Structure 1
Amino acid sequence: MLSRTIRPAVSVARSVEAQRTMATLREIEMRRLKSVKNIEKITKSMKVVASTKLTRAERAMREAKKYGAANNELFKHTQAETESAPKILYVGISSDGGLCGGIHSSITRAIKKEMATAPGDLAVVGDKPKAQLGRAMPNAFKVSFNSVGKDVPTFAEASAIADEIVKQGGDWDEIKLVSNHYLSAIAYESEVTTVISAKALQAAAGFQQYEMEEDVSQDLAEFALANALYTALVEGHAAEISARRTAMENASNNANDMISSLQLQYNRGRQAVITNELIDIITVSSELMFGSC
């Protein structure tokens, strides 16, 4: 048994250790555990909101694809035969929102890959891809758009973007729309849709068979661009909502795992404090018992 001169020192050491353990437990309970629980509530709520929006976005996407199908039929046999390389404008279509996985970086990678093969000018819809591409190719920018995609995009928004692109006055032969293609509720991929200009349309073999005024071909090219933009915007919006729901679900699952780990750590620390207090109580009781003897 320890001597009476050593016992007080042991009791003081245990008291200091218990205070440190209690401080650690308070930090786990009041800061980390509470913070993670709040984050889990937020991400779970955002997942529910994204799930609700996804149904509406999918319905709008199915309707918008009819416009895209009409464009595909129109330009199926309209590739112009040119000896020189066509002048290309790339239009990256995304949004301003975050917390949606790699939805923006997929557009950025696709544009970089396309421009490495066939350089051209650049227009971007959305602040996120604009920030990413602005560092890599700042001199290629011609025009950018923001505040698009907060809700389901409309044909009026697509028409406004198409008008602004036309007003820039670039003598482009092809406009390549780089957007996210919605595959399923958990998958998407970037794709490129090509729309040719009025000049290239008039030079196409399929259209040379008909007598067509210049104004008609110009209107047709602009309307086709608006159609293609509308389809890409709505489908990209559906892909973004789907990616956001998946990201929030993963974040909620990770938060739950962290809560379980912190709760286990807290319970073990609390059990250690209780055990030390019981040891002190038993030690004091033993000293009183043997001291009275």
Structure 2
Amino acid sequence: MLSRTIRPAAALLARPAVQQQTMGMATLKEIEQRLKSVRNIEKITKSMKVVASTKLTRAERAMREAKKYGAANNEIFTNSKGDSSSEGTPKILYLAMTSDGGLCGGIHSGITRMVKREQAKQAGDLAVVGDKPRAQLSRAMPETFKVTFGGVGKDVPTFAEASVIADGIMKNGGDFDEIRLVYNKYVSAIAYEPAVNTVITAAALRQAAGFQAYEMEEDSSNDLAEFALANAIYTALVEGHAAEISARRTAMENASNNALDMIGSLQLQYNRGRQAVITTELIDIITGASAL
């Protein structure tokens, strides 16, 4: 009779241990699944870092070649800007330039903030290259949009792409006196910063004293201004592309390091949980053997 009375109590006492063991095994299974997921993510980010490092070399080489033309192109506007005889406040068209790609840190948001700062100094219309800044700026200043361009940044930009953008701005950019290109300036393999480059129109170029000093049989200012705009856009695109690849490599390196830290933490948590489950099972076995 006494054994019959003790059995239900023993069963009640055994239930919490079984539940605790089941909960421990479920927790270990969850940790194991999360550990496997983080390991897969670490492999992906590490591969993306290697790819970005390979692309960066080609992007830097293209940027060095493009900056040669950009330096000669800037001489025209540097000598023309100060000699312009136009009066009044010029009409500005801001051209925000990044790309459609993601996973590259704050490279797009930096351009967005720079455009907002420039707009606060002097308001103007807006043209955007890239889906990322278009999505950000369309919420802040939708009324200023004139034209947008997409499909840029998948590979090293070409002069043909820059010519298409320049032609679209000339046709759909509205009335403006100068264009201010807002792009990412490549500083080093680990640093970049937003920059602004000003390009004047053909009308402002004709009014410059330095341009009027030369005698020309026919007016070539329109062709010169459009070619110079395409050249400036091309230089900014290539330099921004190099900055984006550099930022993506840095972002993937940081993500890989964070994944490795998380793997170490989860592995330690898993080992401790597994050790706790094994210890609980040993205690149950020893207790059962002692009771017998």
Q: 1:199 aligns with which of 174, 193, 203?
A: 203
The match for 2:14 among 11, 20, 28 is: 11
Query: TM (normalized to structure 1)?
Result: 0.94
CA-to-aligned-CA distance 1:193-227 (integer Å, 9 cap, x gap): 00100000011121122234663011111111011
Per-residue CA distance 1:233-262 (angstroms, 9 max, x = gap):
000000000001111111111111111111
What's the counterpart of residue 190 of structure 2? 186
CA distance in 1, matches of 2:235, 2:277: 63
2:161 alignment counterpart: 157
Structure 1 counterpart of 2:32, one-letter code: E
Alignment deviations for residues 257-278 of structure 1 (CA, whole Å, 9 cap, x no partner): 1111111111111100100111
Q: How many angstroms apart in 1 are the aligned matches of 2:224 and 2:281?
A: 84
Residue-pair matches, total:
285
CA gap of 1:249–1:122, structure 2 versus 1, over 3 A, is same
> SS where residue 249 of structure 1 aligns?
helix
The yes-or-no answer on 1:250 pairing with 2:254 is yes
Query: Residues 90 and 214 (structure 1 numbering): CA distance in 2 closer, same or farther, change over 3 Å?
Result: farther
Cα distance between partner residues in 1 of 2:272 and 2:102: 38
Shift of 1:154: 0.4
SS of aligned partner of 1:151: coil
**Structure 2 residue aligned with 1:22:** 25
How many angstroms apart in 2 are the aligned matches of 1:10 and 1:247? Answer: 53
Is structure 2 residue 99 aligned with structure 1 residue 71?
Answer: no
TM superposition score normalised by structure 2 = 0.94
Which amino acid letter does the alignment assign opposite residue 76 of structure 2? L
The equivalent position to 2:125 in structure 1, one of 121, 133, 141, is: 121
Q: How does 1:171-250 map to 2 (within 5 A)?
A: 171-212=175-216, 215-250=219-254
Which SS does the other structure have where 2:53 is aligned? helix
Secondary structure, counterpart of 1:78 in structure 2 = helix
Match of 1:84 among 77, 81, 88: 88
Instruction: Give the Å deviation of 1:167.
Output: 1.4
C-alpha distance in 1, partners of 2:180/2:25?
Answer: 62
RMSD, aligned α-carbons: 1.5
Gaps spanning 5+ residues in structure 2: where?
A: none
5+ unaligned residues in a row in structure 1: which ranges?
289-293
> C-alpha distance in 2, partners of 1:7/1:273?
21
- Choose 8-17 or 53-62, whichever is displaced more: 8-17
